[in-house]
Amino acid sequence: MTALVVVGTQWGDEGKGKIVDLLTEQADAVVRYQGGNNAGHTVMFGDETHILHLIPSGILRDTMSILGNGVVIDLPELLKEIEELRENGVEVQGKLHVSARSHLVMPWHRLIDQLREKDKGEKKIGTTGRGIGPAYEDKVGRRGIRMGDLRHPETLLARLQEIIAEKNALLTHLYEASDQCFDPVSIQQEYLGYFERIQPFVTETPVLVHSLVEQGRRLLFEGAQGTFLDIDHGTYPFVTSSNTVSGNACAGGGIGPRHISDVVGIVKAYTTRVGSGPFPTELLDQTGEFLRSEGQEFGATTGRPRRCGWFDAVLVRYAVRLNGITSLALTKLDVLDKFETLKLCVGYRMKDGSIQTDFPFEGHDEVEPVYEELPGWNTKTAGITEYDQLPKNLLDYLARIEELVEAPASIISTGPKREDTIVLQPDRFWKS
């Protein structure tokens, strides 16, 4: 079997970028299968920090990088990312492949996303404002534009006329934004210009994926966002608009389930979330503030401060099951270095007094977390690269997490750099 899937087990920002980067060393290709430039991966490479939004971080290692059909692409943003990589000496030609079936995030998607959020006021989702929701809506509503559609200027114009008529009506009559209406001909011209530049990268990525599978190559499917932002399984409606769970690697990447041998769940040693929505273990006090500053918890895409809280084993255990996680990569344990005691949420006390250990359908705002307390290690672990040097209390914290969420740890990250990592079972990946 040739495919490994990496997914976030919480609300995103678990540190996937670094782990994907690490595992990419052993991979022949990295495939993104959902989301768009709402994602933001921070990868430290030597002394340089790279933030990538669309292109898989594998590109920094010269690994073949594929944007699958399930990804939604803001074309000018993708071109900008390519340019920035080139300016930093990373060439993408011959390494980056973009699915002809991927849908485009068009300017009206961005605009409508932002106008809607503004209208919602207090009740807003807290989206990244990148037009992701409206783009997926149009995909499912069969009025989207796919990358490959840019090959045909005439049919493109006809489609744009139809689509833009509807968008302009919406902008004029619902959002009172007639000054921001779109013109089909100028959009056609603008996008044909972009297409000229992206064309060398556009291909039928499922065919490429199949040929790699046939050759027995190692594929890494990189999930964006996290399990609880999944459109079906997350804290709806405070979710993103795609399936973030590992199962979508198949639909969004163009591979059959039988080729997947490993699913690595990325788990932050505490919990964070950006945007609105329920968060049972959120800490609105100084401890939350401390986690934010120690963990540098500010969004890579929007710069928004992330909400912070204790580790929630109810969430992660549910994520282990949903994704079929075979092992865990624990990140940011070093952020907990200065704590005397740590809390782990082992269940939710519901309004009726019952204790739930499966993530419930509703009532997340009202549940009371049931905590277990463990002693902290209160010593510096940042940068440790030998398992034997980790303090006993950290290993106990880790062991309790493994027990509660029912999955073994395979990787421990002790800092933002590639080398700040302990791989517990180096040979375990890509084995059937």
Residues that bind ligand IMP (CB under 6 A): 12-13, 38-40, 125-128, 130, 132-133, 224-225, 229, 238, 240-241, 274-275
* Cα three-residue angle 428-431-432, rounded to 5 degrees: 135
Length in residues, the chain:
432
| Tokens, residue 211 | 């040929």
C-beta of 115 vs 404, nearer to ligand IMP: 115
What distances in angstroms separate CA 76 from CA 180, 193, 208, one per listed residue?
19, 10, 24
Are 228 and 10 in contact, with CB atoms under 8 Å apart? Answer: yes
C-beta of 58 vs 133, nearer to ligand IMP: 133
C-beta of 229 vs 263, nearer to ligand IMP: 229
* Cα gap 77→55, rounded to integer Å: 10
The H or E element spanning position 393 is helix 392-405
The H or E element spanning position 92 is none
C-beta of 168 vs 225, nearer to ligand IMP: 225
The CB-of-392 to ligand IMP minimum distance in angstroms stands at 33
Residue nearest ligand IMP, Cβ-based: 275
Pairing status of strand 341-349 against strand 355-356: antiparallel
The CB-of-306 to ligand IMP minimum distance in angstroms stands at 8
Nearest Cα to Cα of residue 406 among 347, 326, 338: 326
The CB-of-171 to ligand IMP minimum distance in angstroms stands at 19
C-beta of 68 vs 275, nearer to ligand IMP: 275
The CB-of-424 to ligand IMP minimum distance in angstroms stands at 26
Residue 13 falls in the annotated catalytic set: yes
C-beta of 13 vs 149, nearer to ligand IMP: 13
Cis amide bond preceding 391, omega within 30 = no
The CB-of-339 to ligand IMP minimum distance in angstroms stands at 24
Q: Which residues of 284-319 are buried (b: 16+ CB within 10 A; e: fewer)?
A: eeeebeebbebbebebbbbeeebbbbbbbbbbbbbb
- Among 21, 41, 53, 103, the active-site one is 41
SS (H, E, C) 332-352: CHHHHCCCCEEEEEEEEECCC
Residue 152 falls in the annotated catalytic set: no
The CB-of-371 to ligand IMP minimum distance in angstroms stands at 25
Active site amino acids = 13, 41
